[in-house]
Amino acid sequence: MSFAQIIIITIITGLVGIDCYMEVFQTYRPLILGTIIGLVMGDVKTGLIIGATFEMMWMGLMPIGGAVPPNMVIATVIGVVFGIASGKGADVAIGFGVPFAVLMQGIVILMYTGFSYFNTSATKYIKQGKSKQFDLIQLKASIVIFFCYAIVAFLPIWLGIDKAEVIVNILPEWLINGLSVAGGLMPAIGFAILLNTMFKKDYIIFLAMGFILVTYLSLPILPLAVIGVCIAVYDYMIPGKKATALATTTESEDYTDGI
Amino acid sequence: MASNTTLTKKDLNKVGFRSILLNTTFNYERMQATGFTYSMKPVIDKIYADDEEEKKERELNHLTFMNSHSYAITLIMGICAAMEERKEKKELINGIKVALMGPLAGLGDSLVWFTAIPILAGIGISFAMDGNILGSIFFFLAFNLLGFAIRFGFLHMGYKLGIGILDKISVIGDKITRAAGILGMTVIGGLIASYVTLNTALTITSGDAAVNLQTDVFDSIMPNLLPMLYTMFIFYLIRSKKKSPTMLIAITIILCVIGSFFGIF
């Protein structure tokens, strides 16, 4: 891996990090970011597969109401870079990516705390009538976010990339196999968290239906989604006691567990 | 008090484009306050162009705690724009903001994060797992099309409806949330079957006959039974034991490594 590649990946991580903070274009979703990093590393296919695996893992981990999940941007960047550089692909990506994702989670919490500073300066600039300075706050914040992400991506890659293969080769077979099995189970975490946020007893039957249709009929997700839309529209249209039955929906959502 | 400045579509679109930067200054103290004020600024600047003091007052008024869905929040911006145009009292504007941010966040979360992402990403993943780059491209384009449709659609809708929407959102919102829940659950059921993988290597030997638990038992009765059971186990840990995502990842990795060591997987 050349130094130029490391720099390109560092810059991409910084920019995608801003998008992740803003929650706008979704370039930070592992499925998309994994592909981009794979492209820079010269192995799009592995990037795609690691990205898709992480995508499922993070599917339910949404940054809602200021809660901070382990950081998917850093996980994807480190996971894809080291997965490809070590030659082991998706099997080791989780082992490399997750620790840094947890580190970045802490740094994002620090940013969420420290950025209160911008409230103070916003108040000041409005009182002084300085419109230009007020608008520039957005840029200042973006620059801080950029460097926080860029540094966390740059250091481990720059310091560790030569050793990636060595590290992986001294690991025993059962450990690699264990990590690989864990990789297959990671989507369960994403889906379970998603379930928890939407869960209502009357929905269980639909979960079972989706599971059965795919397990026994090998239905792909797209036609399954179309079937789901049909049922949802039918349910929406039939008159009944829907509104009262659902009056508690929003209140019953529980975000206290950090997602 | 009648307003003599009317807002144009262009003014509203300015708010829409500025709302992209809503979360740039997100913080625990006032969350989206600065971003919301930044988005509303062109509207206030135009309406109060000849009253510098009132302009400052109005802008500071928006610089209070705000937290709603990153896209759907433009509905509130639209309503606020209509109210600023009519030069409504600051207290009334604040009341509307506080009343709407919670329900709208719930609606936006269930539609965008819990329905659109799993479905669109699920479709993208099915391509990506085969190494097809279309998976990423489809996800990116489809999601952004939806995201910007919501952003600008809600903005103009909010402006048109003004305050009248307050009653509607609680009734329609609940029905949409339920429809989204049904759709989301159906797809998650399918995603669990498609993408959670767990196979056991255990064999039971009785006399000469060796029964492979996975291929001979599970695969013939219900192939994805183990993945479903594990997902339910994690679900139980979240719902009843309130375990954090980081803890769940750690538990999964440790269980798998131990299981692998003893030859269970």
Using CB atoms, pick whichever of B20, B123, B195 lies closest to residue A187.
B195
C-beta contacts of B167-174 below 8 A and 24+ residues apart: B169/B100, B169/B103, B169/B104, B169/B107, B170/B103, B171/A243, B173/A250, B173/B103, B173/B106, B173/B107, B174/A242, B174/A243, B174/A246, B174/A247, B174/A249
Residue A221, domain extent: 199-259
Rounded to whole angstroms, the Cα distance separating A258 from A66 reads 9
Residues A231 and A174 in one domain: no
Residue A238 sits in the same domain as residue A162? no
Shared domain check, A206 and A99: no
Domain locations along chain B: 9-193, 198-261
Same domain? A173 vs A210: no
Contact between residue B260 and residue B196 where contact means Cβ atoms under 8 Å apart: no
Tell me how close the Cα of A86 comes to any Cα of chain B, in angstroms.
19
Please check whether residues A50 and A73 belong to one and the same domain. Answer: yes
SS3 label, residue B210: strand
Cα distance between residue A101 and residue A79, in whole Å: 10
pLDDT value, residue A246:
47
The Cα A104–Cα A70 span in angstroms is 7
Instruction: Please state the domain count of chain A.
Output: 2
Tell whether A31 is covered by a domain. Answer: yes
What pLDDT does A17 receive?
Answer: 96
Which pLDDT score is estimated for B5? 75
pLDDT in tens, A123-159: 999 999 999 999 999 999 999 999 999 999 999 999 9
DSSP alpha helices (H): ranges in chain A? 3-22, 30-41, 44-57, 72-85, 90-114, 116-128, 131-160, 164-170, 173-198, 204-217, 221-237, 242-245, 249-252
At a CB cut-off of 8 Å and minimum separation 6, what does A100 contact? A71, A74, A75, A78, A152, A156
| One domain for residues A24 and A135 | yes
Residues of chain A with pLDDT under 50: 242-259
Q: 12-41 in A: which are within 8 Å (CB) of B? A: 18, 21-27, 29, 31-32, 34-35
CB atoms within 10 A of CB B212: 15
DSSP A238: S
Beta bridge partners of B210: B205
pLDDT of A165-183, one tens digit each?
A: 777 778 888 888 888 888 8
Smallest CA–CA separation between A159 and chain B, in Å?
25
**Low pLDDT (below 50) residues in chain B:** 1-2
Residue with tokens 């638990």: B213
Tokens 């929650």, residue? Answer: A23
Report the share of chain A in percent with pLDDT over 90.
49
What's the pLDDT score for residue B170? 61
Q: Does any domain span residue A192? A: no
CA distance A113 to A136: 20
**Could you tell me the pTM of the whole model?**
0.81
> Does A136 share its domain with A22?
yes
Helix H or strand E segment including B203: strand B203-206
Residue B97: C-alpha distances to residues A153, A249, B63, B73 (Å): 38, 21, 12, 10
Contacting residues of B for A214, CB less than 8 Å apart: 189-190, 193-194, 224
pLDDT in the model for residue A167: 76
Does the interface ipTM go beyond 0.90?
no
Task: Give yes or no: residues A28 and A94 share one domain.
Answer: yes
